[in-house]
Amino acid sequence: MSEDAALWWARARAEGPLRVPTATRTPAGMLRLVERSGEWCWLLPRPPDDVTPSVLRELRLRILPVEHPNETGRVLAAALRCCWTDVQAAVWPGQPSTLREVLDVVDQLMPGRGPEVLQRLGTGALRRLHANRWLDVDYGAGRVCLGPRVASWPDPDLAALRELCRELPLSRLGQGHDG
């Protein structure tokens, strides 16, 4: 088995999903996601049998804790609601949404927090999710897209995520789409 693949896998472990020119050959065992522009693609490792960290719960083992897990999870769910507009299609790349729309859904999930608290919680969660490539956040343009890591969700988990998306409120700003 190629040492080249070993280095690609290790690099993806160290840096997260890797953005490379589409001319790059796909290393063994990695998932390739081509961006809309067609010039760049993302490479993600495919674990054996698509096993996810959720298996650790059955073993009562801990994974590295996420800071503010509740808020971070809600912001990811809200972004999913805004960006995964056709839940029968693949989750990635989805459709671009806006920071305002995502935070409006978060506001409905956590009512009564007030705009300042919501902004602070939302900003922290968006930063964490962007850093780990769950989301792609462009603060200058006020745009939120799903990050390549969402494509690592295995098919069996997508059914539950579709259901979750249907139950979440739409943005009240008038640009959401029902799935």
Partner 1 sequence: MSSLFDDLLQPLGDKQRDALVTAWAALEYGSEPASEVALPALRDAALRHLLEQMLRRTGRTLVRADAYRWTSGYRDDIAAELAMNGWGVLPPFERAVLTLVLIYSVAIPRAEGRLTGDTWQSSHPATPTHFRRLSQVYGRQRLTDAFQWLRAAGLVRPVRGADPGMLGASYVPGPALLRLTPTARQRLQENLILAAGPDTALATAITVRRNVNRPRK
CA distance 29 to 102: 34
Q: Look up residue 116 and give its two tokens.
A: 């300042």
Among 22, 34, 39, 51, binds partner 1 (CB under 8 A): 51
CA distance 130 to 136: 5
Among 19, 20, 24, 46, binds partner 1 (CB under 8 A): 46
Among 25, 36, 38, 65, binds partner 1 (CB under 8 A): 65
Q: Is 14 in the site for partner 1 (CB under 8 A)?
A: yes
Q: Is 154 in the site for partner 1 (CB under 8 A)?
A: no
Q: Is 11 in the site for partner 1 (CB under 8 A)?
A: yes
Q: Which residue is it, tokens 């989805």?
A: 94
Q: Is 23 in the site for partner 1 (CB under 8 A)?
A: no
Is residue 128 within 8 A of residue 122, CB to CB? The reply is no
Q: Is 139 in the site for partner 1 (CB under 8 A)?
A: no
CA distance 124 to 13: 23
Is residue 12 within 8 A of residue 43, CB to CB? The reply is yes
Q: List the interface residues with partner 1, window 110-129 (CB under 8 A).
A: 128
Tell me which residues touch partner 1 (CB under 8 A).
1, 5-7, 9-11, 13-15, 28-29, 45-53, 55-56, 59-67, 128
